[in-house]
Structure 1
Amino acid sequence: MHHAARTASFALVAASALVLTACGGSGNADVGADAKQTLTVWAMGTEGEKLADVAKAYEKAHPNITVKVTPAGWDVAHQKLVAAAAASKLPDVMQMGSTYLGEFAEMGALEPVDTKVFKKGDFFPAAWDQGIYDGEAYGVPWYVDTRVLYYRTDLAKKAGLKGAPATMADLQKAAAAYRDKAGTKWGLSIQPSGLDAVQSFYPFLYSAGGAVLDDSAKPVVNSPAAVKALENYGSYYSKGLSDKTFRPGYDVTKDFNTGAVPMFFSGPWIVGLLNDNYPDLKGKWAVAPVPADKASVSFAGGSSLTISADSPRKAAAEDFIAYLTDAKGQTDWYERTKDLPANTQAWDAGELATDANLTVFRKQMETAEAIPAQPKLTEITSKVDEAIGAVTQGKSSAKAALDKAQSAIESLVG
């Protein structure tokens, strides 16, 4: 049955892709999904390495298609993509990190998503939003990532704490209790400065009702809510509850294991790291939602799959992406990588439906927010990184730092 359904969707995909090319596309006729062809795919990091195995399984079911996967390190991926786009040599399918999808969409390098094939309602809202630029979808969500609170339950008892902190006020009280009553060195690990400090700040910012850019991509980083959030963030450093020294490549799990750090925010991959590297810690830690301010809101990261606007193999590319992003493909990908599915139907069965830690991530994803795609997003967020660093190092008030970021960001937004 599944096979028949797939062939039907196959024909549909091919037909819609032909319509696509007919109405403009890039002018070159599409070879169609069933023709003998080689699809080129670029993917990053661990995903790039694991995707080759999935490609082999796909080839067995689609003997006419050869899928050539090229993995690239995250550190060089952006330059590689920029160089390929400039030379009109982009692969048929590419994984896009949420921070630079807007840049390639603006260049005209990406094919808009066929929303008859890929439906917004099948994915977490924040996952779908990461693929939107200027009101048009360019990326199909592949996997998601959101941050939740990890905390030491055994040390919480020692500190006289009951359960996880429910509010932002509770979070700071808990940080102080861990340090003062349970004898931990710090109360909470959050990033004080440096590249991507903004990711550490997002749960505070979004939960307070703030944002870097609003829904119409207008900079709002110095709103009263944002200032309040950065004051709260900064207070962990002025009270000695968080370490203000930034250590690139810092591994928080080591300090979590020794008890030097009893709480931190991070993504789903940490669960596996703790289980594998510190089995003796089992039963002494748990995950909890982001403590609520106005609400409990975390940030959504992850990756989308995109098709090159110049590809003459759009029908096959679309079918391969459909294979990776339907519920079955997403469950398979989770089993291989532990990347959280962007497709919500994949969460309805198995470990994803029953595991208590995973349930916390799923709930958090339902309200998580993504920063709107922008061509200069990397520069925009680096201005927020600078503001965070100025506050945590005691060089500026939150308001002054965010006013400065706001005026810098205003000149970077289209």
Structure 2
Amino acid sequence: MKTISSFRKKVMTAAILGTVVISSTLAGCSADSSSSGKDDKTTINVWGMGEEAKSLPKIADQFEKANPNIDVKVQAIPWDKAHDKLLTAVASKKGPDVIQMGTTWIPEFASANALMDLTPHLDKYPELGSDNFYEGSVETTKVDGKVVGVPWYVDTRVLFYRTDLLKKVGYDEAPKTWDELRDAAKKLSERGDKKYGISIDAKEQSLAFMFARQNGSQLIDGTKPLFNEKPFVEAVDYLNGFFKDGSAPKDDIGLDIVQGFRGEGILPMFISGPWMVKIINDQAPDIKGKWATAVLPAKQSNASTLGGSDLSVFQHTKNKDASLKFLAYMSKPETQVKWLEMTNALPANKEAWSDKALEENEFYKVFGQQLENAQPMPVIQSFEKIAQTFLSSFEQIFRGGKDVQDELNSFNKKAEEILSK
């Protein structure tokens, strides 16, 4: 029998230590919020994370107008505090009714039986049906045959590039293959001293896994890691090649990505998510009309990673129907378009992408195209630790000069140990 996981140990500790804390920090949560009160209304508590959650009350107001018998209380929680607060809620069985879940957290909290299975309710609430969403988004909501969440908003990675500078080295369009990306980056790096072709973010934990998938890697087969096999090794060697030939800087060059992208274009290409569109428009108006987004260059495929957030119902809610109504409302295409306008977060609902706010935006429509070929990282509880372990191995390769195959043999053994626990 497996030993108690670190997650369960944390839950047990939280249960022992959290009694006093719970009474104050979770006041008004689902265990206490089913009361009808004199207005005969149901109150649901929604926990949202990060900056986006600050806009949730505006959407909640619109939901309340459509559902006058339901009040919504929103609590915005910083991402760095959210995990521990959720652990306390699981331990006490007292928490919110509706929870925003980072896609990589779903396996952990589903395995702790903290998230309600939505499967029996899909007929009553067709807005939650998987056909409404991108296939990759739906993958993040399924654990052990249960549907424990609904996609809310998504992000994926695309190529950002300086159109004017690429044209000068012979590319009228964005590179479409691995070979073209390498060639363009090398030519751009030869423009002069302290100029590069591309920024490779060595701290982006999904990058190598994404490129490995493009090269045909399954990453993990059941419980067997495949990180020392040819498709993965070739992908890591490919990324390392940008550092080896000087196309990408190994070290901090004292510029953030926007500074490097604008002006002379010290860093004229990089891979990132939708948030960068607004940042570049706001911070680099001098290059308006000189940059674009494109789907990723391909090897066997051009698969990108898929992230974002899901919405789940807390297993121990006393307000099941009201919570499900809120999820259904948040899943409607028109609601997701409003959310885009408020936060620049991309909709998970496919129908929302036919709205002109997305269809007519030259930058965002590329993300819609990329979402047709985007997958989440493996939906297993231990993958976060595997990904962090890889970053250490990758640093040994690109900075330390270690042999790619040898280092990935070592990394694969570590991954085996992580998966066996």
Q: By the TM > 0.5 criterion, same fold?
A: yes
Whether the 8 Å CA contact 1:208–1:229 is kept in 2: the answer is: yes
Whether the 8 Å CA contact 1:39–1:68 is kept in 2: the answer is: yes
Tell me the equivalent position of 2:42. Answer: 37
User: Given the alignment, which residue of 355, 366, 369 partners 2:361?
Assistant: 355
Tell me the equivalent position of 1:108. Answer: 113
Tell me the equivalent position of 2:259. Answer: 254
Q: Which has the higher contact order (CA 8 A, sep 6+)?
A: 1
Task: Return the alpha-carbon distance in structure 2 between the equivalents of residues 190 and 50 of structure 1.
Answer: 32
Task: Return the alpha-carbon distance in structure 2 between the equivalents of residues 35 and 335 of structure 1.
Answer: 33
Whether the 8 Å CA contact 1:212–1:219 is kept in 2: the answer is: yes
Q: Any unmatched runs of 5+ in structure 1?
A: 1-29
Correspondence list, 1:270-289, <5 A: 270-289=276-295
Q: Give yes or no for the alignment of 1:158 onto 2:182.
A: no
Structure 1 residue 366, shift from structure 2 partner: 0.8
Structure 1 counterpart of 2:157, one-letter code: R
Structure 1 residue 65, shift from structure 2 partner: 1.3
Whether the 8 Å CA contact 1:31–1:313 is kept in 2: the answer is: no
User: Given the alignment, which residue of 69, 79, 84 partners 2:89?
Assistant: 84
Tell me the equivalent position of 2:24. Answer: none
Whether the 8 Å CA contact 1:42–1:95 is kept in 2: the answer is: yes
Q: What secondary structure sits across from 1:43 in the alignment? A: strand
Task: Return the alpha-carbon distance in structure 2 between the equivalents of residues 366 and 217 of structure 1.
Answer: 27
Correspondence list, 1:137-286, <5 A: 137-181=147-191, 185-192=195-202, 194=203, 197-214=204-221, 216=222, 218-245=224-251, 251-258=256-263, 259-286=265-292
Structure 2 counterpart of 1:72, one-letter code: I
Whether the 8 Å CA contact 1:327–1:343 is kept in 2: the answer is: yes
Aligned residues: 380
Task: Return the alpha-carbon distance in structure 2 between the equivalents of residues 256 and 148 of structure 1.
Answer: 15
Tell me the equivalent position of 1:292. Answer: 298
Whether the 8 Å CA contact 2:189–2:197 is kept in 1: the answer is: yes
Q: What secondary structure sits across from 2:185 in the alignment? A: helix
Q: Give yes or no for the alignment of 1:368 onto 2:374.
A: yes
Whether the 8 Å CA contact 1:100–1:374 is kept in 2: the answer is: no
Task: Return the alpha-carbon distance in structure 2 between the equivalents of residues 182 and 342 of structure 1.
Answer: 43
Task: Return the alpha-carbon distance in structure 1 between the equivalents of residues 165 and 223 of structure 2.
Answer: 42
The one-character-per-residue Cα deviations of 1:26-69 (angstroms, maximum 9, x if unpaired) are xxxx999x962211111111211011111112122222211111
Whether the 8 Å CA contact 1:184–1:261 is kept in 2: the answer is: no
Whether the 8 Å CA contact 1:100–1:377 is kept in 2: the answer is: no
- Root-mean-square deviation over aligned CA pairs: 2.2
Q: What secondary structure sits across from 2:108 in the alignment? A: helix
User: Given the alignment, which residue of 62, 65, 76 partners 1:57?
Assistant: 62
Q: Give yes or no for the alignment of 1:331 onto 2:337.
A: yes
Structure 1 counterpart of 2:389, one-letter code: K
Tell me the equivalent position of 1:346. Answer: 352
Task: Return the alpha-carbon distance in structure 2 between the equivalents of residues 212 and 246 of structure 1.
Answer: 29
Overall identity of the aligned pairs, in % = 36
Correspondence list, 1:311-326, <5 A: 311-326=317-332
Structure 1 residue 162, shift from structure 2 partner: 2.6
Task: Return the alpha-carbon distance in structure 2 between the equivalents of residues 257 and 294 of structure 1.
Answer: 32
Structure 1 residue 251, shift from structure 2 partner: 3.2
Structure 1 residue 210, shift from structure 2 partner: 1.8
Structure 1 residue 327, shift from structure 2 partner: 1.1
Structure 1 residue 233, shift from structure 2 partner: 0.6
Structure 1 counterpart of 2:399, one-letter code: Q
CA, structure 1 residues 184+290, in 2 after alignment: closer, same or farther (shift >3 Å)?
farther
Whether the 8 Å CA contact 1:206–1:299 is kept in 2: the answer is: no
Structure 1 residue 222, shift from structure 2 partner: 2.2
Q: Give yes or no for the alignment of 1:46 onto 2:51.
A: yes
Structure 2 counterpart of 1:150, one-letter code: F
Structure 2 counterpart of 1:294, one-letter code: Q
Whether the 8 Å CA contact 1:124–1:344 is kept in 2: the answer is: yes
Tell me the equivalent position of 2:400. Answer: 394
Structure 1 residue 303, shift from structure 2 partner: 0.7
Provide the TM-score with structure 1 as the length reference.
0.86
Q: Give yes or no for the alignment of 1:134 onto 2:113.
A: no
Task: Return the alpha-carbon distance in structure 2 between the equivalents of residues 362 and 170 of structure 1.
Answer: 23
Whether the 8 Å CA contact 2:206–2:377 is kept in 1: the answer is: no
The one-character-per-residue Cα deviations of 1:256-278 (angstroms, maximum 9, x if unpaired) are 11311000001111111111111
Task: Return the alpha-carbon distance in structure 1 between the equivalents of residues 143 and 273 of structure 2.
Answer: 25
Structure 1 residue 90, shift from structure 2 partner: 2.3
Task: Return the alpha-carbon distance in structure 2 between the equivalents of residues 391 and 100 of structure 1.
Answer: 29
Structure 1 residue 246, shift from structure 2 partner: 5.6
User: Given the alignment, which residue of 100, 106, 121 partners 1:95?
Assistant: 100
Structure 1 residue 323, shift from structure 2 partner: 0.5
Structure 1 residue 217, shift from structure 2 partner: 5.6
Structure 1 counterpart of 2:82, one-letter code: A
Structure 1 counterpart of 2:51, one-letter code: T
**Range moving further from structure 2, 49-58 or 403-412:** 403-412
Task: Return the alpha-carbon distance in structure 2 between the equivalents of residues 170 and 182 of structure 1.
Answer: 20
The one-character-per-residue Cα deviations of 1:329-370 (angstroms, maximum 9, x if unpaired) are 111111111111101011112121222222211111111111
